[in-house]
Structure 1
Amino acid sequence: MSNFKKIVPFIYPYKKYAFLNIFFNVLYALFSTLSFMALIPMIQVLFDQNKHKVVKPIYKGIWEIKQYAEDYLSYFITTTTDTFGVGYTLSIMVAVIISIFLLKNLCDYFAMFFITFLRNGVLRDMRNAMYKKTLELPLAFYSEKRKGDVISRIAGDVNEVQNSFLAILELIVKEPLTIVFTIVMMFAISLKLTLFVFIFIPISGYIISLIGKQLKKQSTKAQQEQGTFLSTIEETVGGLKVVKGYNAENYFNKVFQGSTERFFNLSNTIGNRQNLASPASEFMGITVIAVLLWYGGQMVLIEKTLNGAAFIAYMGLAYNILTPAKAISKASYGVKRGNAAAERVLEILDQDNEITTKVDAIEKTTFEDNITIQNINFKYENENVLKDFSLQIKKGQTVALVGQSGSGKSTIANLLTRFYDVNEGTIAIDGVNIKDMDLQSLRGLMGLVTQDSILFNDTIKANISLGKLDATDEEVIEALKIANAYEFVKDLPLGIMTNIGDSGNKLSGGQKQRLSIARAVLKNPPIMILDEATSALDTESEKFVQVALENMMQNRTSIVIAHRLSTIQKADIIVVMQKGKIVEQGTHDELISHNGTYNKLVTMQSFES
């Protein structure tokens, strides 16, 4: 129930639908019970078992209402039959029964009508909340979680919560009230017979509960397995070139089939347990009814303490308990499955996000003086990546970070943009600690071009306009020209309105990278971060991209993380890093003359080329 309480805030906006559902469910339960009670006078008329009363009864108070109702019904049947004939009386009885059943089914429809808005509204809002949370969570979260598992939670688990968990509304209102109203009427007909029935109900309830004990645990495993095979799909589709290039189709096929086999077995176990619920509850119910027939038959035929019409209605009421009892047992299994799904959904929604904007954060829209990195230490998990690192970058400077893989170059970019937070030390822009700045305004000061050209399945214009959503076509074209990309875009069938496919796979590597640069140009930030922007390109593409980068870096503060040293020779300061520390810094010529680490790196790259 603790999980359900956490889901309740999603229900609040739709509480009017919940109240309307409850209202019509109460009416449904009432009419469901009355539909069987209405059979008593009809059977009495059919078999002429009605007590003949010609004097209108007098109401003597609430404690004698049962006797008053019986006497008034007998009076009505007697006078109506004497005046209009038995056929007319029977017609009235049939019309009453049809009306009650019509009202019962209308109430059922309206109850389901209103719950539909609630269920679909909760589904939409939970999906929106999950997606919003996945966007807000820091990158560190996704280094531990499979992307496919997160997708599974947004798609599958949220749906399971909607289907199963919200069945609690039905579980606590419609079915229990139907049972309560039915039992009240059963007591009204025969106290002795109803008490006899109640000896058997707890026994059958206990047997049914045994079936569902392991359901939540099995459901959790099944949902985790669904996350696993969705991850496999996402990874293999994303890396299809490698899969095919290494003839690894069979390997990934086996991995996927192993996961779906486990899901198959778990689903069978869960399904069979659920399927057992309905026949088990029905069998228990029929057993109770069989005992009723034996004991009630004795009361009618031998003891003469119950009349036949009342006993037939009583049997109908007893059977009326079966349907809600089956629904409750089925819904309770659904709730167990929904509970397992809710845990996985809430794990994401309750996830702490340490990288957020403070309450009294500073809105900073301009860059005036410098970026100061002072005595920072950082580790991803247990491994130290940066140790006592300090650097000052003045406005208008181009600072290049070079070094071997794993030296901490890209980590600097991640920390500047607050994708991660430093463990110790400070990073400040114009003397303001970036942790004290509004997160959106901090990232608004920066343009980012990464090694992997991250593009989306949309038009060129939509991809480039991410940093400036209201950009005109002319502004987009101007950015493309600066990025040296308009020469190929203008030849495309629809120009800037051409869809570039999933991850931009309709374009070459160089073309994709130039679009990434155009995106940064259009945003027009004062600080540009280039994270190995040319390392994945061939020589010809690199020349085009290099020209684009030089165009973009004019009159800007640029932090260039470079693998190819030929691209950063014009930098104002080159910072040479090794194992998270600065070992050298200066201009290209100064560092060459020192004949140290930088000179060795240049020599090695010259030799390789």
Structure 2
Amino acid sequence: MSNFKKIVPFIYPYKKYAYLNIFFNILYALFSTLSFVALIPMLQVLFEKGPKITTEPVYEGIFKIKEYAENYLAFYITTAQKNHEPGYVLSVMVAIIISIFLLKNLADYMAMFFINFLRNGVLKDMRNALYKKTLELPLAFYSEKRKGDVISRISADVNEVQNSFLAILELIVKEPLTIIFTITTMLLISAKLTLFVFIFIPVSGYIISLIGKQLKKQSTKAQEEQGRFLSTIEETIGGLKVVKGYNSENYFNTVFRNSTERFFNLSNSIGNRQNLASPASEFMGITVIAILLWYGGQMVLIDKTLQGAAFIAYMGLAYNILTPAKAISKASYGVKRGNAAAERVLEILEQENTIVSKENAIEKTSFDSEIDIKNVNFKYEETSILKDFSLQIKKGQTVALVGQSGSGKSTIANLLTRFYDVNEGTIAIDGINIKDMTLKSLRDLMALVTQDIILFNDTIKANVALGKLDATDDEIIEALKIANAYEFVKDLPKGIYTNIGDSGSKISGGQKQRLSIARAVLKNPPIMILDEATSALDTESEKYVQDALENMMQNRTSIVIAHRLSTIQKADVIVVMQKGKIVEQGTHEELIALNGTYNKLVTMQSLES
């Protein structure tokens, strides 16, 4: 129930539908009971049984309502039979029964009609909240979680909450009310017989709870396994070239089949336990009904303490309890499954986001003097990446960071943009700690061009305009020209409205990179961060991209993380890094003259080329 309480805020916007559902469920429970009570007068008419009362009874208060109802019914039947043909009276009784059943089914439909709006509304809002949270959570979260598992939570688990967990709304209104109204009427007809029903309900509930004891644990395992095979699908499709290139189809096929086999076994176990609830509760119900038939039959035939018509209606009411009892047992299983899914959904929704704008953060709109990185230490889990790192970058400078893989170059870019936060030390822009600035204003000051080119399955215009959503076609074309990209875009069938496919699969690596540069150009920020933007390109593409980068870097502050040293010789400052520390710093000529680490790196690359 604690998880259900946490889901309740998602229900609030749709509470009017919940109230309407409850209202029509009350009507359903009432008409469901009346539909069997209405059989009594019809059976009395058919078999000409029951007392003959010619004087209209007088209502003497709530405590004598049973006697008043029985006497008034007998008075109505006696009068009707006296004044009309038997067929007419029977027709009236049948019409009443049909009307009650019609009202019962109409109330049931209206209850389900309104609960649909609530359930689908909760599903929509929960998915939206989960997606929003996945966008807000820091990158560190996704290095610990499988992407497929997160996708599974947004799709399958939220669906399970909607289908199973929200069944509790029906569980606590419709079925219990049907049972309460039915048992109340049964007590009025015969208190003795109803004692057997009071024995049946708790025994049945206990047996069903034993059957479903392990259901939540198994449901959690099944949902985790679903996340696992979704992750395998996502990774396989993303890396299909590697899979095929290394003839690894059989390996990944085996991994996937093993996962789906585990899911198959868990699903069977869960399904079999769920399916056992309904026949178990029905068998217990029929057992009690058999006892009622034996005992009630004696009351009708031998003791003469119960009318035959009332006994038949009573048996109908007793059987009427079975349907809601079965529904409750099934719904309680659904709640257990939904509870497991809700835990996984809430785990993400309640995940603390450590990288947020602090209260009353500064909205900084310009870059005026310098970026100051002072005594920064950064650790990822237990691995130390940067150690007492300090660097000052003046406005208008191009600062290049070079060094071997793992030296901490890309970490600087991640810390400047606050994808991660420093463990110790400070990063300040114009003397303001970036933690004191709003995240939006900080990232508005920067554009990032990375080695891993991120493009989306959309048009060229949509991909370039990410940094400026209201950009005109002319502005986009101008940005493409600066990025040396318009020369290939203009030849495409639909120009800037051409769809580039999943991750830009319809264009080459160099063309993709130039589009990502155009995106940065259009954003037009004062600070550019280029993270090994040319390392994955061939020589011809590199020339185009390098020219585009030089065009873009004019009159801007640029931080260039470089793998190919030929691309950063014109930098104002080159910072040589090794194991998270600065080992050399200066211009290209100064560092060559030092004959140290930088010179060795240049010599090695010259030999390679």
Structures share fold, TM-score greater than 0.5: yes
Determine the C-alpha separation between the residues in 1 that align with 2:205 and 2:338. 21
Q: Does 1:454 align with 2:454?
A: yes
1:519-546 CA distance string (max 9 Å, x none): 0000000000000000011111101100
Question: In 1, are the aligned partners of 2:457 and 2:503 still within 8 Å (CA)?
Answer: yes
> What one-letter code is carried by the residue in structure 2 that aligns with 1:466?
L
Residue equivalent to 2:512: 512
**Equivalent residues in 2 for 1:182-197 (5 A)?**
182-197=182-197
1:164 and 2:164 correspond: yes
Superposition deviation, residue 479 in structure 1: 0.3
| Counterpart residue number, 1:425 | 425
Q: Which residue of 2 aligns with 1:412?
A: 412
SS of equivalent to 1:560 = strand
By how many angstroms is 1:212 displaced? Answer: 0.6
Shift of 1:508: 0.5
Mapped pair 1:365 → 2:365: yes
Residue in 1 that maps onto 2:278: 278
Structure-2 residue corresponding to 1:332? 332
- TM-score, normalization: structure 2? 1.00
Distance (whole Å) between structure 2 residues aligned to residue 209 and residue 283 of structure 1: 16
Q: Give the conservation status (yes or no) of the 8 Å contact 2:216–2:340.
A: yes
What's the CA shift string for 1:439-481, capped at 9, x where partnerless? 0010000000000110000000000000000000000000000
Secondary structure in structure 1 of the residue aligned to 2:172? helix
Matched residue of 1:310: which SS? Answer: helix
Give the whole-Å Cα distance in 1 for the aligned partners of 2:366 and 2:544: 30
Are 1:583 and 2:568 matched, yes or no?
A: no
Kindly report the root-mean-square deviation, in angstroms, between the aligned alpha carbons of the 2 structures: 0.6
C-alpha distance in structure 2 between counterparts of 1:383 and 1:502, whole Å:
34
5 Å matches for 1:124-273? 124-273=124-273
Q: Which residue of 1 aligns with 2:561?
A: 561
Q: For each residue in 1:334-368, what CA deviation from the matched residue of structure 2 results, as whole angstroms up to 9, or x when unmatched?
A: 00000000000000000000000111000011101
2:449, 2:516 within 8 Å by CA — same for their partners in 1? yes
Superposed, 1:510-549 pairs within 5 Å as: 510-549=510-549
Match of residue 292 from structure 2: 292
> Helix, strand or coil: the match of 2:406?
coil
Aligned residues of 2:489 and 2:495 also touching (Cα < 8 A): yes
Partner in structure 2 of residue 403 of structure 1 = 403
1:209 to partner: Cα distance: 1.8
**Quick check: 2:457–2:500 contact (8 Å CA) kept in 1?**
yes
Deviation of residue 279 (structure 1)?
A: 1.0
Letter in 2 for 1:152: S
The amino acid of 1:181's aligned partner reads: F
* Paired-residue identity, %: 84
d(CA) in 1 for partners of 2:576, 2:201: 79
Counterpart residue number, 1:394 = 394
TM-score, structure 1 normalization: 1.00
Distance 2:198 2:449 in 1: 73
3-state secondary structure, aligned to 1:584: strand
* 2:46 corresponds to 1:42: no
CA offsets per residue over residues 354-387 of structure 1, 9 Å max, x none?
0001110000111011000000100111011000
Query: Secondary structure of 1:200's match?
Result: helix
Q: Does the residue aligned with 2:363 lie in a helix, a strand or coil? A: coil
Q: How far 1:133 moved relative to its partner?
A: 0.2
Alignment of 1:310-325 (within 5 A): 310-325=310-325
Q: CA deviation at 1:304?
A: 1.0
Shift of 1:85: 2.0
User: What does 1:8-19 correspond to in 2, within 5 Å?
Assistant: 8-19=8-19
Distance 1:75 1:302 in 2: 27
Residue 306 of structure 2: aligned partner: 306
1:105 partner SS: helix
Structure 2: unaligned runs, 5 residues or longer: none
* Contact residue 204 and residue 281 of structure 2 kept, 8 A: yes
Query: Partner residue of 1:104?
Result: 104
The alpha carbon displacement at 1:206 in A equals 1.6
Shift of 1:197: 2.9
Which residue does the alignment assign to 1:55?
55
Long gaps (5+) in structure 1: none
User: Following TM superposition, by how much is the alpha carbon of 1:67 offset from its aligned partner in structure 2, in angstroms?
Assistant: 0.5
Where 1:375 maps in the other structure, the secondary structure is strand
**Cα drift, residue 51 of structure 1:** 1.1
Does 2:474 correspond to 1:474?
A: yes
2:116 is matched with which residue? 116
Equivalent residue for 1:442?
A: 442
Corresponding residue of 1:490: 490
In structure 1, give the amino acid aligned to 2:451: Q
Aligned to 2:82: 82
1:25-74 deviations in Å (ceiling 9; x for gaps): 00100000000000001001100012111111111111111101111111
Native 8 Å contact 2:200 2:285 kept in 1: no
Distance 1:274 1:61 in 2: 47
Q: Give per-residue Cα distances to partners, 1:196-229, cap 9 Å, x unaligned.
A: 3322332222222211111101100000000000
Partner SS state of residue 199, structure 1: helix
1:68-103 C-alpha deviation (Å, 9 max, x unpaired): 111111111111110112211111111111111000
SS in 1 for 2:583: strand
Q: How many residues align?
A: 609
CA contact (8 A) 2:385 2:407 kept: yes
Amino acid at match of 1:339: N
1:278 alignment partner AA? S
Q: Secondary structure at the match of 2:182?
A: helix
CA contact (8 A) 2:50 2:307 kept: no
CA-to-partner distance for each residue in 1:252-307, whole Å, 9 max, x for gaps?
Answer: 00000000000011011111111111111111111111111111111111111111
2:319 partner amino acid? Y
